[in-house]
Amino acid sequence: MNRRYGKLLIVLLFAGLKYSAAQTFTVPSDTVYATIVTSSIVHDDITNITTVPMKLKWQVVGTNFPADWLRPGVLSMCDNRTCIPNSGDTLLWRTATGLPGATFLSDYYLPTSPGLFDLTLDLTTATTIGTYWLTADITDPGALYSRNVTFVINNLPLGLAAAFNKEAAPVVYPNPAKNELQIACLHANTIILHNSNGNLINVYTAGKTGNRIDIRNLAQGSYCITIIDAKGTIIGVERFEKE
């Protein structure tokens, strides 16, 4: 074996080891959905499933939160060491540039014991109503294992009941679907797509008279569509099969 192919083999072996790194921690769900009126703490706590304590690194890697949700005093995230506000030198997300903020290091998560990891929002002074998402990457540097967790937050105006409106019930067709999914719902404003494991696939801004979603690149299986109106009310949750 010549030197060139020897180096290539080493690179491929390293990449394979990193990709197949053993799972070292779990969270209740890769995607957490929460409806908030004024303020809330949304948990997705971490459990160390190994036999030794571990410290984890984490960073907010993506969000479409509006600017008034990112103001100082509104957004913070907590691990088992401390709560990090989105302000000062500890920015979780850099609103001006649309780039991730700092990377943070937790305290030790002890084996088999759930440890804190949550998102805290105080939307008392926020004016933006609707559904938005934030994704954090959590990494075990020692084991080369990482996973993303996404918080999908539906902000309701004070006094609005999140009741299902039967008159505005959506129709999702065809079902099963192969290339395109159509959603007939006059009052749809936001459409959230996730798979059967609760993992967020995409968030769409709905049209006024109907919506078509390209699903050609989805793997075969079961998926769920959540439809939300302009007031932030969940008006339907529908499942469909991708052929």
- CATH 2.60.40.10 domain extents, the chain: 20-155, 166-242
pLDDT tens column, 208-234: 546 788 899 999 988 888 887 776 677
Residue 199 has pLDDT above 70, yes or no: yes
- The encoded tokens of residue 217 equal 């690149």
Structure confidence by residue, pLDDT tens digits, 161-185: 344 444 455 778 888 888 888 887 7
Who has greater pLDDT, 16 or 168?
Answer: 168
pLDDT digits (tens, 9 = 90+) for 90-131: 789 987 778 888 999 999 999 988 899 999 999 888 888 878
Between CA 10 and CA 161 the distance in angstroms is 59
Band (pLDDT 50/70/90 cuts) for residue 2 is very low
Backbone torsions φ then ψ of 2, nearest 5 degrees = -75, 170
For the domain spanning 166-242, the CATH number is 2.60.40.10
- Is pTM beyond 0.75? Reply is no
What sign does the CA torsion over 197, 198, 203, 208 have?
Answer: positive
Class of domain 20-155: mainly beta
